[in-house]
Homo-oligomer: A and B are copies of this chain.
Amino acid sequence: MASPVFDTHSVVRALHGVRSEWRAAQRRSSEPGGREFPSRDALAGIVESLKGVLFPMRLGPVDLRQESEDFYVGYTLDAALHALLTQVRLELRLVDGVPAGTQPTQVVQQFALALPAIRRLLDSDVLAAFHGDPAARSVDEVLLCYPGVLAMVHHRLAHQLYRQGLPLLARIVAELAHSSTGIDIHPGASIGAGFFIDHGTGVVIGETTVIGERVRLYQNVTLGAKRFYTDAQGHLEKGQPRHPIVEDDVVIYAGATVLGRVTLGQGATIGGNVWVTQDVPRGAHVTQASARQEPRTVPESVLA
C-alpha cells in the first residue's frame, strides 16, 4: 500500500503532547468543553456597528438616508448591545474578583447610556483635528481619513468598557485600532475633550496617563512609565499612578518621550525627540537644547 504524503498522525500526537504539558503546567482542565473566551472577531463587528450608531450618515451604510437614521440607529444599536452582552458574559465568567451581583445586562445598559456623551467627546476630537491640521478640508474628511480620529473612536469606547470593569474587552477594542493605525493607547488612559494625534504611527500612551482638554500629539510620542513600583515584598503594585499628567492645551511634537508621574503644565510645548522625566511648568517650551541642560539622574527605562 502506498503511504500517505505526510505523516500527519505523528505530528498530531506530538502537538497533543505539548498541549497536555501546557495545560498541566497551567493547571488547566483537560476535560471536554468549548472555548470560553471573548472573540476578537465578535468585538470587531460590535465596534463597526457602534461606529454606525455614533455617526450614521458618515460611518453607517452608504445607502442610508437621513430620514431613516433613527430606525437604523435603533436596530443596529439593539443588535450590537445583545452581541456585546454575550462578550460581557464571557469576560465576567473569566474573572474571580467580580463583585457579587454584577448583572451583565446592567453593565451593557450602562454602556449604552454612555454613548451620547461619547459621541459628544468624539465631535470635539473631530473639531480639534480639523482646526489642528491646515491640510484638513472638512470635518467629514477628518472623520473618514485620519487615523488619529479612528484611534480615538476606539479609545473612547474601550475606555468606557475599562471603567465598567471589562479590561479584556477594552484591550481587544484598543488593539484593533493599534493594528490599523499604529497608535497604541491603553484603554485605562483618561483623555479630555478635543484631543488630536497627527500622523500617529508609534504613539504609545500608558494606562494611568491623565490628559486634559485640547491636547495635541504627533507621531512616535511616548507617554510612559519610568519603572514599575514594587512594594516591600518586591511585588508590582498595579494600582499606582505611573504615567504622566498632561494638562490642558499642551502640544507634544514627534518623537518626544515623557516618562513617569510627571506633570506637563497647562499650555506647555514639548519639542520633537525631547526626553522628559521631570515636571514641566505651565507655558514652558522644552527643546532638545534646553532639555540637555538639565541634570539627568534617573535610569531612563521606558515602560508604558
Residues of A in contact with B (beta carbons under 8 Å apart): 1-12, 14-19, 22, 26, 30-35, 37-41, 53-54, 56-58, 60-79, 81-83, 85, 94, 105, 108-109, 112-113, 115-116, 119-120, 123, 134-135, 137-141, 144-147, 167-168, 171-172, 175, 178-182, 184, 186, 198-199, 201-202, 204, 207, 218-220, 222, 224, 228, 236, 238, 251, 253-255, 257, 259, 269, 271-275, 285, 287-289, 296, 299-304
Contact = CB atoms under 8 A, between A and B. Distances in A.
Contacts of A119: 15, 18-19
Contacts of A77: 8, 11-12
A12 B73 contact: yes
B70 A78 contact: no
Contacts of A287: 296, 299-300
How many copies of this chain are found per oligomer?
A: 6
Given A184-B201, A272-B300, A299-B287, A32 B17 contact: no
A211 B168 CA distance: 31
Nearest to A112: B11
Contact of A63 (B79, B115, B180, B219): B79
A285 B8 CA distance: 48
Contacts of A6: 67, 78, 81-82, 105, 108-109, 112
